[in-house]
Structure 1
């Protein structure tokens, strides 16, 4: 029996440490021979058993033999089983780059690699722009006036945006733009979003998916020289028309068509494109002068070559081109940023209006996939983080200022629980925002992680603002100039919906694309099977398939052993986060084993099992959030006072990960496999729970108390000092309320002791002076705090006649 135990231990060790196949085979042959002899077999039989094992080892290790005997039948089987990829699916899978998501899919993340990355930092020019130019813009913005009355940004704001190159943040200086990094671009959007969602979206769109982004990467020299300076100065206002009534997320179903044909342009007959389209939900569409258009291009007369269906193509078209109709405005949940439909009927354009020129005809989907990844990485996470930080700052202070039952509402445990979520989730999305921007600035094009950060940031914004509205109560739901959160709350579904609705992003993209794109072998196997050269495809498939088999066996062993030990044997960098990193590595191996098993058992059906793939997406997303949170904490020098935020954020993600594993395994259709998976990944059961109440208490306290930690958590938003501003009024009241709390304790004690018999709050200071309990100066502190509190909790009201006229006059 001891021999069996030793043998099993050796095999597990070989798998755990991922030894090479030849060494594994050699040890296995020797081991089988020795075991046969130890169990009583004769020397001849033992040698015979060893010989059989040796033949199997040779079959596995001699590649030409392995390819003919084992790989070729498997290769043919995979060709039959794998569903054919459409051109759009293939381009989507191959777009962008793999970064930290590849480490998470390895089952053994290299944490030192992550921690050694430089800390994300703004340049001096970016910081000056934020502190000066952006602050000036924020002071110009009156969001109530913009939304309730004008339904647009004021003309002076539009002019300022153009003059200060807000629409050219991503355009290099040589073309007249600001040349900001992804982090700088994100920081600008985040600060503006804390002031006005309408202004933030207006600035956001020209700098994310749009003509400038596409021209920079794919435009011809002539296109860049002509358009980029004009876009940088605001002489051209761009929009990008992708979504239509019949094709939102399903680009393959796009009905918009361009036909290569001959026609007259400026009085001359040329070969061009005749276009017909209908688009909607196009941000900046109503005011755009330059239209980026996605359409399917066809060449029935073969004017460009033998191919008739050229595929999705992108073009730049001035909106004054004959045949274009710019429609009326949409009203996205009362947010008055410019958004609306447009149409084109028999619009004839030259071929060189194709982005990148005629040679880019049919390459539009790949261009879009790569550009969408960058846009998702920056714009919406920035907007979400700005809203989250505003809620932390404003609602945290409000919970200290507002009182019920003579105590600050933030001291009530129900409110405290919501405050902890506001702080912890905002800490998460700030970490993910900065880490993902840093990846873009290193030249990465994060295809999968862009979807992760867009999905997680906007969903956490939803939770944060819901909690903030619960705490604010009536002051949150009554709109007016004093209300800081009503408009961000209204904007939640906008962020959830645009650049890929979150339901689709979670169930189809994060895991559906990630399982193929980020996995070390799956995409390579699919490419090998699709290789036109059969011999080359067979060789590649042989290499990747058997590497995949070894990887899966090793990952299963690592997941099982780590599950038994809680990951405590896993090597990770030393420090206060050691256990967090070990737990994350352990869950990474459990995730990869589960993902591999799901793909093996369900095959192509997995992409239709969206509930299952959505849970795997939640696991991957939260593994990334933990990584970002730890990286952020380490970059900041492990500040002790910030540790509750870091621990709460990680604990919450661990809870979501284990809950997602539970739900996945409970609903996996092959029950024996689900049972085996549970045994392999969680042999001791599920252990993670929600963050402890004491931890939540500490996080809530950080939001309600002025401190460097509170400032760091909300860093980058616009914080006015003027008490006529809603946030400035709250900031002023918070300081006064905290100062007065010391005096109020004296008054409460005097009441309990019978020294003061007055019960009316307003009369307590005077009674305290009369009783000699407090000084006149202390009474003034209480009165100032009471006056400031009254101003903060006051809500706007309007005459009925004014509301009938459509707004505050």
Structure 2
């Protein structure tokens, strides 16, 4: 034992120092003091001297800059420069356009939870709440989604007028320019509420308030452009769209073939310098009704009219609809969700340089402008739409599962249905927390590049899963379309959200970890910038500081990951109350594991990691689930740690942890270097995988909340349109739940007495008459049962039509054209 003791002390000192991230000099002092104590206490002298020699061999070169920099840092800098993956200007712009918030802590391996929990609770102003309760509520009451999606394939004129008159297109436009001047959080709340009644309406309102002319003008427009266009956009005088995507440039927007040539042309009766545009765009929301088209194109100056640069780069311009040469094509029809969407084409479309967004100074800076504004669409519009649909789906489906009975039981009591309802409730809780967290980040003035991709991908993915479970529980009620159907159109609309603002497959496999590994990592971006400095002395000094900071960080994370894995995250300081403290410890563990996996992958794979999309996707899943869990814990704290929400939080949290372990396991099992795979597995999973999906008992508790009037259910319903009215069948069903619950004991009593009687009445009213005469129920209880039957009938009834009613209004015209072509 005396021989091993110095080496054990040496290793323990290093492990403790690494776990607590002590400075190298502090570790050396602690280790030296402990080895001196070993010597004095009689440990084996030779072993103690060998351990002390190891300490000196490691500490002295690292602590002395005169040795460290020329003999360690300089060779590593040369090696790093060779393996550093090249960054295109496009990638560099994307990375530098975003800000880093709490997600950076999740990449650190030791999150500072105070940073998260000290953020102010997201709250609306009194003016914003009044708008949400007033004009937004009224707009929801006016919506007849069946009329929009089937009869008109468009919003009715009165809805268009109401939206414009109440400045729904100017939510974010400052008041000085005629807008409402609301926060990004308010934008989220409005879209969430509208989406709970109609995806078509939420899309129509959401797009002008996300990536589009108004957003770009507010950030980059000239004073003249702002003064002219922003008031007209705010009150709906101008309806905007933004034309980015084309047939040959979808997710790869930097490769757009649309171009503009700098040339002289006529504008307003005078010859001016401008751009002649040739463009072919598709999937452009609001294009069929837009009066002002924002266009992204590559700008060329072959004649040198602006200078020596022939390829100026991606630029953005505003093109009025009536500009000669511009053509707005016929409408696209996206999955029975008929929001206005269509192609835009043009040849030799001349606009003056003054129509460039930001003027001539911003020519060629279009990609940067887009990257800096894309977070609005990804952070707010799509996640908020997903949240509105999921929250409404959870509440209405819970009520329906309580009302709808089979075999004498509410279908929600069957374990199969209960399992699906638990998934709906848990995922709706997660979506709501995630969408609000990213909107709050934008409201704080951040440009959350990584969280926006996380929110876009996971909110829409989970919402699609929720919609599928909603349809399964409703069965025939969900698939028979008509005015009474509140589930089918939402299910049809979900694939649309999956594809826009970057297709989800690419968002997961390329963007989340691809951006996060560089932007959120505490050292990688600093090392990259240091390696590119021109001054050799400054380059060496900066790289030295960041490199050895990174090495210490990597060692610390390896120790922390192993310690938390070895102890099942049972020990360690953590915030939260007695219920949530264990959750924070688990997140500490997986944060360290992510950091270890990210560092190892970047070190050993280098530039090849960019093409390891499966590995990148799995590591992105780990980062995403860590962020989702953080958002849920923040929401739980902001709402006062309500005990009633604990089943929802626990279900969503355990589901996320299971996904984290599954992603880490997949990344490790498929890591391309086998010995490293084995070592990392022992480090990350010393006892093997331990996480499991949420238990059936927990699922039962989560599902029960959605089928019972309670505070947790009320919080789930906040912010969605569940007002019972003629055009909101889901709201009516939701409103029935309290009365249904009160009537259930009476119903059970009546059915039991009826079963044991010899009454021959077959019709329900006659059976009720007999029940009153026999004294089974009172007259008031009879009224309750009649009301219960009426509510149940309203909940389960579906629509039917004459065949002619289901034919498109343009059917005869279309059929006639087809017949004529066939005859020809």
- TM-score bin, normalised by smaller chain: over 0.9
Query: Displacement, 1:545?
Result: 1.3
Q: Which residue does the alignment assign to 1:475?
A: 477
Whether 1:84 aligns to 2:121 is: no
Give the conservation status (yes or no) of the 8 Å contact 1:756–1:767: no
Distance 1:487 1:537 in 2: 58
Aligned positions of 1:623-772 closer than 5 A: 623-722=626-725, 725-750=728-753, 754-755=756-757, 762=764, 764-772=767-775
**1:632-682 CA deviation, whole Å, 9 max, x = no partner?**
111111111121111111111111111111111111111211111111112
Distance 2:727 2:495 in 1: 30
Query: Displacement, 1:202?
Result: 0.5
Contiguous gaps of at least 5 residues in structure 1: none
Q: Which residue does the alignment assign to 1:204?
A: 206
Distance 2:261 2:441 in 1: 39
SS at match of 1:259: strand
Distance 2:67 2:310 in 1: 44
Q: Which residue does the alignment assign to 2:20?
A: 17
Q: Which residue does the alignment assign to 1:610?
A: 613
Q: Which residue does the alignment assign to 1:429?
A: 431
Cα-Cα RMSD: 2.3
Query: Displacement, 1:257?
Result: 1.3
Distance 2:695 2:118 in 1: 31
Q: Which residue does the alignment assign to 1:342?
A: 344
Query: Displacement, 1:603?
Result: 1.4
Query: Displacement, 1:761?
Result: 7.9
Q: Which moved more, 1:406-415 or 1:633-642?
A: 633-642
Distance 1:733 1:551 in 2: 56
Give the conservation status (yes or no) of the 8 Å contact 1:291–1:319: yes
Distance 2:674 2:114 in 1: 38
**1:156-215 CA deviation, whole Å, 9 max, x = no partner?**
111111110100000011111001111111111111111111111010000000111111
Give the conservation status (yes or no) of the 8 Å contact 1:747–1:764: no
Query: Displacement, 1:383?
Result: 0.4
Change (3 A) 1:622 1:764: farther
Query: Displacement, 1:801?
Result: 2.7
Query: Displacement, 1:445?
Result: 0.6
Aligned positions of 1:357-396 closer than 5 A: 357-396=359-398
Give the conservation status (yes or no) of the 8 Å contact 2:390–2:466: yes
Distance 1:807 1:254 in 2: 35
SS at match of 2:349: strand
SS at match of 1:433: helix
Distance 2:572 2:11 in 1: 20
Give the conservation status (yes or no) of the 8 Å contact 1:239–1:292: yes
Q: Which residue does the alignment assign to 1:799?
A: 802
Whether 1:189 aligns to 2:208 is: no
How many pairs does the alignment contain? 805
SS at match of 2:351: strand
**1:507-544 CA deviation, whole Å, 9 max, x = no partner?**
11111111111000111222222334444333322221
Q: Which residue does the alignment assign to 1:314?
A: 316
Which of 271, 291, 294 is equivalent to 1:292? Answer: 294
Q: Which residue does the alignment assign to 1:160?
A: 162
Distance 1:71 1:731 in 2: 66
Aligned positions of 1:98-497 closer than 5 A: 98-497=100-499
Distance 1:281 1:434 in 2: 27
Query: Displacement, 1:39?
Result: 4.7
Give the conservation status (yes or no) of the 8 Å contact 1:455–1:502: yes
Change (3 A) 1:347 1:760: same
Give the conservation status (yes or no) of the 8 Å contact 1:105–1:592: yes
TM-score if structure 2 supplies the norm length?
Answer: 0.94
Change (3 A) 1:152 1:42: closer
Query: Displacement, 1:25?
Result: 4.3
Q: Which residue does the alignment assign to 1:591?
A: 594
Distance 1:66 1:358 in 2: 50
Give the conservation status (yes or no) of the 8 Å contact 2:85–2:606: no
Which of 778, 783, 786 is equivalent to 1:775? Answer: 778
Query: Displacement, 1:466?
Result: 0.3
TM-score if structure 1 supplies the norm length?
Answer: 0.95
Query: Displacement, 1:268?
Result: 3.6
Give the conservation status (yes or no) of the 8 Å contact 1:733–1:792: no
SS at match of 1:491: helix
**1:450-503 CA deviation, whole Å, 9 max, x = no partner?**
100111110111011100000000110110000001111110011111111111
Distance 1:157 1:401 in 2: 33
Q: Which residue does the alignment assign to 2:819?
A: none
Query: Displacement, 1:803?
Result: 2.2
Contiguous gaps of at least 5 residues in structure 2: 812-824
Distance 1:238 1:218 in 2: 17
SS at match of 1:317: strand
Distance 2:327 2:499 in 1: 25
Change (3 A) 1:165 1:605: same
Change (3 A) 1:317 1:572: same
